[in-house]
Each structure stands twice: as structure tokens, then as C-alpha cells.
Chain A
């Protein structure tokens, strides 16, 4: 992995600046206000490439706008993979809960056949260099299993050769590390603090959620990776929660989908 060994080497005179900063956005859930806030933030922070980790729709009131934005970014070179809510748009009968199922039924009516066809083209996973992008547990991406615990992280890490796995799905930012001596560590990243993904171990980074955070912090969450230094930063971005919630109510979606945005739960 020549790219990686270079990346860990750090020196203040970083003359060659060829590795471009990558923004990772997961679990947007049709929240237009949160998505625009994160994209604006990432653009200003210097992100040059974008990776979207699934669940563009479901729960929120702006699925069509979010997909339009996503497709424009893909046209500019962004990578996007499939999430379980996206799959539910074109594949009936998944194990969705009441609220989620209600939101999916509503979302289907908002989307064009073209949007649904687009979602169907998205891959379950995407690998580049030593990194793997996947929505949920990489050991069986189509089963949409959550990665909450260190043992669940181990199952995912042991199933693939990737040094760094980046996923979403649980809506809670977390970093798991697999050490050379086969121990798994868990770490809750702090807002904006770069965490080095040391090359001597393997990592599974769980993004927070852009559109429906569930870790008690209502601000939108995405992450920035500097491939040059192999440092990953989880960013928290405040956004107009009132408007996003009001639209959910106006759309007649379940009330709890609006209220949870205020508390980040």
C-alpha cells in the first residue's frame, strides 16, 4: 500500500499536496437543511472529493431535492453507495419499522421513476486504495446489520482486507481499531479533532448522521479525511432544525420524526 506509507509520513514542509481531502456524508435522510449545511461546511473546509454512504431518503421531507443534489455531486465525481432506506424505495418488503415504513411509503410518492431507477444503480460497497466504503456491517452489506459494539466491529473488520472501513447506519460517530495483537478498541471522537488512523492497525470508522443524529447532539455530523496525513475528523454542523422539522410536520409524516431532530435522539 504505497499510498498509505507516504500518508503517515508527516513533515511541516508538505510541498506535495496531491492527496485531496475527502468528505464523507452518511444517513442524510432527506434532510435538505442539514445536507446543505454540511456540504457548505465541507466545501469551505477544502474538501475536494465526496463520498456518500447511503440512506439519502426516508424520515425527512426533502427526498427529491436531496437526490437531485446527490446526483449533481456524482456527476462531479462523487462516490455514492446504497443504504437500506434507499433500497426500500425499489425493493418492497424489507424489515422496516412502523415509522420508517410510513416514511418510505410517503417518500415513494415524492420520487420520480427516474429517481427510483437511479437508486437501483447504487453499489453496496466501494473500495479505493486501502479503504472500503459501505453503509453497514461489511461482512454482509445486504443484511444491513448495525455496528455498535467492538465485537460487531471485529466481525466487519475481519471480513475484508481493507485497512480502513468507513460506514454509517447507526447514526452515532464512533471509531473502532483492530490492533496487531487482535484487540478491538472503541473510541468516541470529539468534534473537529483530527484522529490519526495509525497504519499499524486497522480501523472501522462509523460516521455520524447528516440528517438525523442520534447521539444526543442535534447538529449534523459528517467527516473529513486527509489522505496525506491519514487523519479523520468528525465535524458537527449546526443547521436550521426548525425548518426541517416544520416540513416533516407539513408533509404529515410521524410527529416523532420532527421532534427527535431537536434533541438528536
Chain B
């Protein structure tokens, strides 16, 4: 086919191509501008002179999935043309700045940065998983960050949905290829067996990335053969603390939980992983946290012999909906005992139907009550400890085991803002809170619950007792 691959300066359906950002064997990516769009764009073009059909299917897959994804964690879709057009292309928002790829030169990274990166990527994964998409190719090159005005790193953005799976669309990759597709060092074991509908495969890949960023080495090396990729089904990685002794037990616990062979033993959702990475004190430690050696040969042999290595195509258990993060705003000062009780029974009812749910108990310490004075700092500290104790006391009748419930005293000048910030940055799925007790107070101070209910990115239950309403 006498086809000239587009070059900078060419115009394609109104998109004027700029500098090439990437020229690969499968596709090229150009910066682009279009008179109708003010934000930076890029245009992705599959190579048409390559015989291998996999990049064509992968391009079709991305064309199908990207327009269906919304939110800050994916590039905005702009336009597309398929293979029936003279030149197929996919135009999308360009996220300025580098991916995580160049950071590989700086490894290992400071551990708090590893956790911060992990939390941002986990929140991005939670956002696409909620839209029924599993990325299935999570790796440094596919993770970017939205720039923020202050130059700090903003929301993580996932790119390249060419190997992704959408729960409600035909999977072109699954039907076309029998071999698993992905990037070998980061590929989850179930993916190596051909399963493509498991969102927790992305948690495994993120676990590999966190391990790599924390220790400077890949937990399973860089296998070139699929049979070598499958070794991770029975051979566990060297615990991070052995390579990086200052890696705290909670971080090792979190990384090794991501790297569990069975998806059921990983975090039930990406949001819960993000929560652990942001709340180290909330991580329930198991023997994984402190181990310094890999499992002994007997255990490995046993796993190797007993493993069912047949490809899996079953539907993953619907854990995502049963494992939400529930934030309960407990107002210790204004709530009457009946309201505190009603709030508790609301939470308790939710937990009964949601076995994987986690509860974050929140209380807001208004910053007007504090002062930067050193003496008062001490007062502030004891105020926080006192409130923590009160939260624990409120929650005690729920009888939740450690790891399922955490306690947080937030600070801020406005209770609603503090709660909303928390809900957004922790991927909270459901806020439960009490209504302000006195209608007089409510009319003077405004309704915190009303504001939270109006602005929260998730469900909000406002609990009110009958006596209160009367």
C-alpha cells in the first residue's frame, strides 16, 4: 500500500499536526491544534504498514473505550476516525508534562513519595473501575499527572486504553488473541492466564510499580517468555524491607497485598488501596508486614503443584459495590444521644449489607478554636486526642475489627469544606451524617449536612430523629 505516514505540518480532519511526541512501531503520536479546541491536543495514528493485527485491534479498542470515559483521571476524548477512513486517528486532550517513565532513573524514591504517587494512581484506577473499565496495562509510561496552578502534581491521569477491558462492551482483544496481552513485568497472574475482566489486575500492576519505586528493582524481573511470566503464580517476590530496610511495615503490607496471586486477597477496590496509602495508621498489619524472606521452597512447590493453571474467563465477584468507603461525620458537641444512636444504627445497617465496607469516622475541629501559639499548640494536640477518644467511644458499639474502622480529626475553618475535601481526596463512596439539632441553630449557622449533600461527589445520608423533627 502506497501510504505516506503523516508528518508534522500535515492537516488531518482539521487537526494540524505539530511535533512528534512518540514514533513507535505500532503508532505515532503528534501534538496537534484544532480551531475548535482551546486546550492542548494530541493525535494518535496507528501505522498502516504493519502486518501484525494486534495494534489494529488495540487501536479499535481504545477508540471504543476512551470516548466512554469521563473525569479528570483520563484525557478528554476529542474525535476519531476508524480504519474505513483513509487515515484512522484518535484525537484527545494532551496532558502536559512527563509520565512516570523518566522517574525510573531516580529510583529508589523517598518512601513518602512512593505512597503519595500510589494513592493518586489508585484513585485514578478507582475512577475508571467505577466506569467499568479495567486498564490492564498500568506501568510508569501510562501514568501522567495534571498540572496544578501551584506547580504541584495534581490528579493522576491514565493513558493508553489499547489493552483495556470494558465490562459492557465486546472485548475485541479477547476474541482476537488467545495469548495474554500486557506488559510482562507488571502483568497480574490472572492476566497471564488470559483473564481480562478483573479490575484488581490493575492493583497488582500498581503493586509492582510501587515495589519498583520503593526498592529500585522489579519484583518479578523482566521475563521475556510467557512461561516465565507465569512463575509469579507460585514464586513470591523478595519482601521490600529486605531491599529497603527503612520501608515501614505498613507500606510492605500494602505492596505485598497488591501482589497477592489471588485477586480476592488483594484490596477489594482501588479506592480502598488509595485509602491505605493515605492513612498508614489504618493499615491492618499481617505477617506480610514484617517478613524479610520469601516463602520457603516447600510452600512454593506446593503452590506450583496445586495451582490451577487453566485460563480463567469467569466473571469476577462483584466486590466493588460491596466494599465502599463509608465516612461518618460525628458531631460530638451538638448531637443529642438519640441522634448519635440513630447515626450509629444507620451505619450498622449499611455494614450489614456491605461486608467489605470500611468506615472512616470523622470529626471536624474548627481552626478558629486553635492558635499557632506554642502553648496553644499543645492545647490543640490534646483537643485532637480528646476528640479521637470520643469518636472511638461513639463507634465502640459497632464492634468493628481493626482495619475496618479508622478515626480522623479534620481541621478547617468550615466543617462542610473539611468534610467535602476529605470525601474527594479519599475516594469516599458514601457519607453518613446527622442533621444539626436545633432548627434555630440551623437557620443561624446554615446546614452543614445540606451543603455536604449538595456538593459531595457521592451518596450522602442525612440522619434525623423523629423527636428532632417534631
A binds B: yes
A11 touching B78 in the complex, CB below 8 Å, given contacts A195-B170, A200-B56? yes
A177 touching B170 in the complex, CB below 8 Å, given contacts A185-B175, A200-B56, A200-B60? yes
Distance in Å: Cβ of B51 to nearest Cβ of chain A: 12
Distance in Å: Cβ of B155 to nearest Cβ of chain A: 22
Task: Tell me whether A181 and B53 are in contact (CB under 8 A).
Answer: yes
- The yes or no answer to A13 lying at the interface (CB within 8 A) is yes
Per-position 1/0 for A149-175, Cβ under 8 A of B: 000000000000000000000000001
Q: Determine the residue in chain B with the shortest Cβ distance to A10.
A: B80
Residues in chain A near residue B53, CB distance under 8 A:
180-181
Task: Tell me whether A200 and B168 are in contact (CB under 8 A).
Answer: no
- The yes or no answer to A252 lying at the interface (CB within 8 A) is no
Residues in chain B near residue A120, CB distance under 8 A:
none
Distance in Å: Cβ of B1 to nearest Cβ of chain A: 15
Secondary structure dominating the interface of A: loop
- The yes or no answer to A187 lying at the interface (CB within 8 A) is yes
Interface size class on chain B is 20 to 34
Per-position 1/0 for A1-17, Cβ under 8 A of B: 10011001111110000
Per-position 1/0 for A174-194, Cβ under 8 A of B: 010101110101010110010
Q: Which of B155-182 contact A (CB under 8 A)?
A: 167-172, 174-176
Residues in chain A near residue B172, CB distance under 8 A:
177, 179, 185, 198
Residues in chain A near residue B67, CB distance under 8 A:
10
Task: Tell me whether A8 and B81 are in contact (CB under 8 A).
Answer: yes
| B168: contacting residue among A4, A180, A190, A198, CB under 8 A | A190
Task: Tell me whether B176 and A181 are in contact (CB under 8 A).
Answer: yes
Cα distance, A180 to B83, chains bound together (Å): 12
Residues in chain A near residue B63, CB distance under 8 A:
198
Choose among A11, A185, A193 the residue with the greatest number of B CB atoms under 10 Å from its CB.
A11
- The yes or no answer to A40 lying at the interface (CB within 8 A) is no
- The yes or no answer to A196 lying at the interface (CB within 8 A) is yes
Interface size class on chain A is 20 to 34
Residues in chain A near residue B79, CB distance under 8 A:
9-12
Distance in Å: Cβ of A220 to nearest Cβ of chain B: 20
Task: Tell me whether B78 and A12 are in contact (CB under 8 A).
Answer: yes
Sampled A-B contacts (27; CB under 8 Å) = A1-B84, A5-B85, A8-B84, A8-B85, A9-B13, A9-B80, A9-B81, A10-B79, A11-B79, A11-B80, A12-B79, A13-B36, A177-B170, A179-B176, A180-B53, A181-B176, A185-B171, A187-B170, A193-B168, A195-B168, A195-B169, A196-B169, A198-B60, A198-B82, A199-B82, A200-B56, A200-B60
A residues in contact (CB < 8 Å) with B: 1, 4-5, 8-13, 175, 177, 179-181, 183, 185, 187, 189-190, 193, 195-196, 198-200
